[in-house]
Chain A
Amino acid sequence: MNRRQFLQTFGLATTAALQTSTLHRALASLPPGAFAPANLIDRDPIAHVISRLTFGVTPDLYQHVQTIGSQAFIEEQLAFETLADPDITTHLNPYAEVLGKNAGVLLKESEGMAQVAGQALLGGTTVRAMYSQRQLYERMVHFFSDHFSIYVSSAPLTFMKVDDDRDVARAYAMGTFRAILGASAHSPAMLDYLDNATSAKDAPNENYARELMELHTLSVDGGYTETDVKEVARCFTGWSMTRPRDSEDGLLKYLYRPRLHDDGAKTVLGTTIPAGGGERDGEQVLDLLASHSSTAEFISYKLVRRFVSDFPPDALVQACAEVFMQTGGDIRAVLRTIFNSEDFWNAPPKFKQPYEYTISLLRAFDTIILDGNRFLRNMRNSLDGMGQIPFHWPAPNGFPDVQGAWADNLLPRWNMATAIVGNQLRGAQTNTEPFLNLLESRGVTLDPEAVFAFLAQYLLGRPLTTDENGILMDFVNSVADTPESQIMNGIGLLLASPAFQYR
């Protein structure tokens, strides 16, 4: 088999653009044995740290971490501001203008703007997950998008989410918890979604007050009462937003409306908030909640669950909570505690959420987006079948982060894997050219068994077991006659296999 035949089988055209991929440059220089055999117990620490901190391994990244070491990689990812990300501007280009606008401006634009804004939100988040070098930062943006979940069901909330995404999650994903909590509390999207914008002293709306304590800070058993819910709701009366038609610039922004505020005395979690505090009442509540030990534990628990295990080890959660309290809720310090723990390095496999699984497939093959709108339409359909279109969880608690919530819906994942390998994800192209260059440079022949062995080490961080190899070879021998077709089918099976469902 020659390269041309192989590429034809994949249905790919070779273009000049594809040949300049960084994948080739990176992997061609790997020393022999770079993908050293490992098993699940004694796994490749480089593959492990990449898969936990990022949206998926790429050959580029593997080479990089091998060069600088895991510790340096962790620090580099934590200090994301200094991490060069030269190509992301180009990838974001189709969406940047919309994502830079204020909801009030979007609201005044054309009829179809809701769809455009929705597409920009999905497009922006997806190209960043696929291509950004600041992978840990992007994962933290996703974490906080879920923590302060807003269901973008329709305009004008879609427009407000554009501001929220930029001014809350992206602005403070690696800052202090108090900062992101405050940004969220002032975000028109949150004020609208949880109904605080219209909450007034005569009959306060409890929605935001309750979820603020239950979901954003203390957690359901964190020590608040129904009376606290009512008192916090009183504190936030008047926290509202401008109406675009009211202001000269037409912007939609946070606005405190003193006439709606209940200015009487309140008691929150045993602390008296004296009468006459005005807008400051809400800030005082946020101070109380952000510095509460229940909040420290809850945020730590969720972060450990995110980066370590569905069953967070209690000692690590407690250690993180202590760091949280000592550092004034410094998210970076908590993350560093997690990444330096034994539990992190010995973590059991963590089931990928559907969106993460999809992005890891796209990253594994250096997918190139040819037609953004078409690509996103297809992504949206596939993700809908898996139950995870970003910003579309229909409740304020965010997408679930445990295997049990996702494991009974495997079929759309299998179809996504075969679609990407079969180059059927319309609007995008699976880029096998650099992969072929890589195989060539490493002396791997285009023989199915050799290709699978190589691919497993690259994608799974370990060699195939004898059983896995046997199943894979039986399958490809039964469905295809030519080596190229066998390789294509085998890659599909490998990516749909249980091993690739985990990070």
Chain B
Amino acid sequence: MTCSHCKTLSRREMLQNSAALATLGTAHAALPAWMPRLAFSPKHQAPRGDVLVSIFLRGGADALNMIVPHGEDAYYTARPQLAIPRPDASGGDPKALDLDGFFGIHPALSPLLPIFQGGQLTAVHATGSPHDSRSHFEAMSFMERGTPGEQGMTTGWIGRHLGTLDTGNGSPIRAVGWGTAVQAALRGPISPVAIKSIVDYHLGGDEKAAAAMLNSLNSLYALDSESLHASAEATKSAIEVVASINYASYIPQNGTTYPETDFTMALRQTAALIRADVGLEAACIDLGGWDTHVNQGGAEGTQAQLMTQLSEGLAAFHADLGPDMQKVSVVVMSEFGRRVEENGGIGTDHGHGGAMLLMSGNLNKGPVVANWPGLAPDVLDRGEDLAITIDYRDILSELLTSRLNNPLINEIFPDFTTNSLGLFSV
């Protein structure tokens, strides 16, 4: 565990310089939001890789209480009320579950422990988007667009990935944004659809009239100068695809039961689409509520409940897919981590470095990967937040090249030079 704080700083400087140059991103800035659909054409041909499932924890998840650095005294000093007790703490209260002698997981993440131990889950710590914004909206926007510090990019990193890769996959649902709006990461030249519920994803009325109406709607939308056409066409195709898979009778494998939440239903629906083999390449799922300024709770409480939702969902998805995890990569991220020191409201304010989770059948490294910078005040970012020693784009770049068969990192993360972490096997 080396301190590479200095490396973070120099990288940030490099980014600030590059932002001044006329880049791919700024060139697109002048175009309307829908233009990239037309402006891109696939540049690389390769067979389809893993199905990517990208989960975004909205609100800035407090990574220090999820992947707990129980080997750090400074952690316990900074959080007298919120810290998760060491795995070997006395008493019967819930405590961290050890992973590697230094890091442990929050007790609410216990459903994930066997997956960590089985080598199909890795937490990368002290990572994130290097831009120093503490604004949710700016940080999310930079992270999902994949261009930290650079305004104006209208497409997302997953959208550019799908847009630059020709997998010969003609499926109309290469990408799904679960929910009522497509996530910024998915925006781009492909036409993702937002779906909240597969069973409700059809046009009302009798079947014959509905089919005719869909066709007529498409003809009308084709006339539209504001380019709603692509969206209408994607909607029609998605209706036809989901009608073909009979989701109502989908039975999760290996005795899995998914809890009944929007988040876990999105995972269940993702599993169903993967099983049905309808050409899904990327899915985005949101889990909100992580902005825990007050009453965050320690081993129990607000954040613990969110972690329960997250861990039960991921564990169910993992069990459901079973051997099929070999062709799936799940990545969990948040716009930033939270302040090391707890505040007066028994919560935490916006911070910087956080953690990412990777769940896949093809991971190479141990349960936790980090260039751990430490939590002593002199090594903290701005003197108060966890520093970022691994750029989140390093993780995603490796995912893209190793598991998604897309080597065009310069198209996806312009002006970014990757550092290899060896997280995935090819």
Contact = CB atoms under 8 A, between A and B. Distances in A.
A17 interface: no
Interface residues on B, range: 35 or more
A352 to B, nearest CB: 12
Given A220-B133, A406-B181, A408-B191, 10 more contacts: A215-B137, A310-B33, A384-B180, A395-B58, A397-B137, A403-B34, A404-B34, A407-B231, A418-B204, A498-B228
B225 to A, nearest CB: 8
Interface stretch (A194-202, A245-253, A276-284, A360-368): A194-202
Interface string A103-122: 00000000000000000000
A250 B337 CA distance: 39
Interface in A214-255: 214-215, 220, 226, 229
Interface of A: 194-195, 198-200, 202-207, 210, 214-215, 220, 226, 229, 310-311, 348-349, 351, 384-388, 394-395, 397, 400, 402-412, 414-415, 418-419, 422, 424, 465, 467-468, 471-472, 474-475, 478-479, 489, 492-493, 496-499, 501-502
Interface of B: 32-34, 58-59, 133-138, 154, 177, 179-182, 187, 191-194, 196-197, 200-201, 203-205, 208-209, 212-213, 215-217, 219-221, 223-224, 226, 228, 231-232, 234-235, 239, 288-289, 291, 293-294, 341-345, 347, 349-350, 382
Contact of B204 (A424, A471, A489): A424
A493 B34 CA distance: 24
B201 A226 contact: no
Contacts of A496: 213, 217
Contacts of A385: 180, 196-197, 200
A203 B344 contact: yes
A368 B204 CA distance: 22
B343 A204 contact: yes
A422 B33 contact: no
A400 B193 CA distance: 18
Given A394-B58, A403-B226, A410-B228, A474 B216 contact: yes
Contact of A395 (B136, B220, B235, B347): B136
Contacts of B345: 195, 198-199, 203, 205
A211 to B, nearest CB: 9
A489 B209 CA distance: 9
A408 B220 contact: no
Contact of B349 (A207, A388, A402): A207
Contacts of B34: 403-404, 407
A502 B226 contact: yes
B231 A387 contact: no
Interface centre among B187, B204, B231, B239 (most CB of A within 10 A): B204
Interface centre among B32, B59, B138, B345 (most CB of A within 10 A): B345
A207 B213 CA distance: 48
A475 B212 contact: yes
B278 to A, nearest CB: 17
Interface centre among A403, A419, A465 (most CB of B within 10 A): A403
Given A410-B235, A415-B204, A498-B220, A402 B33 contact: yes
A479 B217 CA distance: 14
A226 B383 CA distance: 12
Nearest to A202: B344
Contacts of B33: 310, 402-404
Nearest to A492: B213
A203 B80 CA distance: 13
Contact of A467 (B59, B203, B223, B382): B223
Contacts of B228: 407, 410, 498, 501
Contacts of A465: 223
Given A403-B33, A479-B209, A471 B216 contact: yes
Given A207-B349, A414-B217, A472-B216, A408 B344 contact: no
10 smallest CB-CB distances across A and B, nearest first, come from A387-B180, A203-B344, A475-B216, A498-B224, A404-B33, A408-B182, A409-B194, A207-B293, A195-B293, A206-B349
A456 B293 CA distance: 51
A206 B226 contact: no
B350 to A, nearest CB: 7
Given A198-B344, A203-B343, A468 B223 contact: yes
B201 to A, nearest CB: 7
Interface centre among B134, B213, B235 (most CB of A within 10 A): B213
A410 B212 contact: no
A414 B344 contact: no
A34 to B, nearest CB: 26
A396 B159 CA distance: 26
Contacts of B204: 415, 418-419, 422, 424
A408 B234 contact: yes
29 contacts: A194-B293, A198-B294, A203-B344, A204-B344, A205-B344, A210-B134, A220-B138, A226-B134, A348-B226, A385-B200, A386-B180, A395-B137, A403-B33, A408-B177, A408-B191, A409-B182, A409-B194, A411-B203, A411-B239, A412-B180, A418-B205, A422-B204, A467-B223, A468-B223, A471-B219, A492-B213, A498-B223, A498-B232, A501-B228
A245 B208 CA distance: 61
Nearest to A472: B216
Contacts of A215: 137
Contacts of B213: 414, 418, 475, 479, 489, 492-493, 496
Interface centre among B59, B181, B219, B350 (most CB of A within 10 A): B181
Contact of A205 (B215, B224, B294): B294
Contacts of A395: 58-59, 136-137, 288
Nearest to B223: A467
Contacts of B216: 471-472, 474-475, 493
A189 to B, nearest CB: 15
Contact of A311 (B32, B181, B231, B234): B32
Given A195-B345, A205-B293, A498-B223, A210 B350 contact: yes
Contacts of A403: 33-34, 226
Interface centre among B205, B215, B342, B343 (most CB of A within 10 A): B343
A349 B220 CA distance: 16
Contacts of B182: 408-409
Contact of B231 (A202, A408, A471): A408
A4 to B, nearest CB: 24
Given A422-B205, A475-B213, A394 B288 contact: yes
A408 B181 contact: yes
A489 B223 CA distance: 20
Given A415-B203, A498-B228, A199 B344 contact: yes
Nearest to A404: B33
Interface centre among B220, B232, B234, B350 (most CB of A within 10 A): B220
A220 B140 CA distance: 13
Nearest to B192: A408
Contacts of B201: 411
B220 A471 contact: yes
